[in-house]
Amino acid sequence: QKEVEQNSGPLSVPEGAIASLNCTYSDRGSQSFFWYRQYSGKSPELIMSIYSNGDKEDGRFTAQLNKASQYVSLLIRDSQPSDSATYLCAPRSYNTDKLIFGTGTRLQVFP
């Protein structure tokens, strides 16, 4: 079992729709969770972090965390073509300062 699992996609959604990106993780001790956006050929950029169960909203982005189910998700409302990128899920390891990255979900938003 991989430490962090994400559907590689591509996830295709029409402009204006809600994109839902999912991630499961194996380390029950993980306390903090991060979502990165990576455009093709560019480096990852932090867009959201969450460390409490429930929802955290920031503009069009909502991160959701369920530690009991070891599940974290990212919702993007009113998706735009500029949201087309790969989204990386990264829990922080409990006893180190390392982030454990998933391989990412590629999102395509079509006009």
Partner 1 sequence: DVKVTQSSRYLVKRTGEKVFLECVQDMDHENMFWYRQDPGLGLRLIYFSYDVKMKEKGDIPEGYSVSREKKERFSLILESASTNQTSMYLCASSLLGGRIEGYTFGSGTRLTVV
Question: Binding of partner 1 at residue 22 (CB under 8 A)?
Answer: no
Q: Which stretch binds partner 1 (CB under 8 A): 11-19, 30-38, 62-70, 72-80?
A: 30-38
Q: Which stretch binds partner 1 (CB under 8 A): 10-18, 19-27, 36-44, 57-65?
A: 36-44
What are the residue ranges of helices labelled H in 21-75? none
Interacting positions 70-109 with partner 1 (CB under 8 A): 88, 90, 92, 97-99, 101-104
Strand partners, 33: 50, 91
Q: Which of 21, 24, 36, 72 is the binder for partner 1 (CB under 8 A)? A: 36
Q: Which two tokens stand for residue 35?
A: 């979502």
Distance CA 22, CA 101 (A): 13
Question: Binding of partner 1 at residue 34 (CB under 8 A)?
Answer: yes
Upper half-sphere CA count for residue 87 (Cβ side, 13 Å): 28
| Residue 75 burial (10 A CB sphere; 0-12, 13-18, 19+) | middle
**Interface positions with partner 1 (CB under 8 A):** 31-32, 34, 36, 41-46, 49, 51, 88, 90, 92, 97-99, 101-104
